[in-house]
Amino acid sequence: MLRGCCAGGGDRIEHDEATRKIDKQLKDWNKTYRQIIKILLLEKLTYLDQLKRNGVDAMQTILDFMETVEPAIPLRNPRNEISREYFYDIDVNHEDFVFDKQTAEHLKCLWKDEGVQQAVVRENEYHLIDSARYILDKIGEIAQPDYVPSNQDILHCRRETTGLQKVEFSIAVPPKNGGGTQQFWMYDVGGQREYRHQIARVFADIQVVLFLVSSIGYDRTLREDKTFNRMEESLNFFTAMWESPYLSTSGFILFLNKQDILKEKISRDRGESLLSHYPEFRDYRPNSKDLVGDEDFVYLRARAFIRDKFLNKTRDPLSSNKNKKRRKGVGNLEQARRLRSGPDVYWHYTTATDTDHINSVFNAVNSMIIVWNLTTLGLI
C-alpha cells in the first residue's frame, strides 16, 4: 500500500497495465475452468443392477473355497447339501439367469450354515467380494418382488469394470467459486491388467487422474494372477502413472477407499495381517496430525501407513525402474518432476459407501486450479 501511494506517474501506468493483464488472465482462467474437466479413473468403481447376481456369485465363491481348501470345510447342516448342489449349475453371467424365490431360499439356508460362516471369516484367503456380508445379510429383503434398492444397496453393488467407458456429469459450483455448473468427463479404463493398455487412448488433455485404492488389498492377491499381492500391484500401477510423461501436467487425487472395512479388519487382528505382509509396519510412526479424535490408534497407524506407501512413490529420489535400462518414451521420477507443473497428490480417506466422492473430487480440482494459477503468476 505504501509503495502504491508513493509511486510516480510512470510506475503507476506500469502498475495499471500489469493489473489489466492479470485481470485478463484471471478471466481467461475462469473461462477455461468453465470448460469440461477430463478425469482419468484408475482402478474400480461400483455399478448398478448387480445385487442379486452379486449374492449368488458370493455364495458360489464361498462354496468353492470350502471344497478346495485343505482341509475342506463341511456344511454343518446336512440338509443344506441340496442348496449347495442347486448353485453348481447356475451361471449369473448368462442372459437367461433368473433370481427367483427358490434361489433366495437356498441362499438364506446356506448363509445361516456355520460352515459357510467359518469360510467367510477366512475371506482374505480367496476372492470374496467386499460387499458379500452386506448383501447376503439382507438377501431376504432383496428377493422381494416389490423391493426398491436403497442408496446403500446401490453403493454396495459390484460389477467388473471392463473396457473403456466414459461418463459425463455436471455438478453445481459453490457460490464462492463463481456459481453455475461444471461439466466433467470421466474415463474408466478398468481395473484388470488386460485393460490398462487402453489408458493411452485417453491420455490427451487429461486434467485430473483419480486413483482409487482398496485399502484392504494388502493380504489379498489379484484375480488374474494369484501370485501377486493386490496392494503391490496398485503401488506399481500408481508409480507407473505418476512417472508417465504423458500425465506430467495432470493433477492426482488418491482415494484410499474402504476405510470402514479396513477399520473392521484392524480391530479383529490388531494389524497382524498388515504386519505379516509389510514388516516395516512394526516401526512405522504416523505424523501427529494423523492421530485424530478418539479413533483406535492401531487403525490410524494402519491407514496412514498405507497412505504413505503411495505418497512415498512420489518422493523417492529414483524411479522404480532405477535398476533397469531406460526405455524410449518412458519417463522416470526425476523427469516427471521436472515436467510436472501441478501439485503432487491430493488424498482422501473414503469408505466403501461414501456418497461424497464427487464433492471431494471437485474440491481437490478447485484447489489444483488455484495452485496452478498462483504458480503461473509466480506467487508460489
Residue list, annotated binding site = 130-131, 155-161, 188-192, 257-260
DSSP string, 230-278: HHHHHHHHHHHHHH-GGGTTSEEEEEEE-HHHHHHHHHHHTTHHHHHH-
The length of the chain in residues reads 380
Binding site members for Mg(2+): 161
β-pairing, 345-349 vs 251-257, is parallel
Q: 26 Cβ partners below 8 Å, 6+ apart?
A: 373
| Angstrom distance (rounded) from CA 290 to CA 309 | 15
Binding site members for GTP: 130-131, 155-161, 188-192, 257-260
Kind plus residue range of the DSSP H or E element containing 154: helix 151-156
Q: In what order do the strands lie in the sheet with 165-172?
A: 165-172, 181-188, 37-42, 208-214, 251-257, 345-349
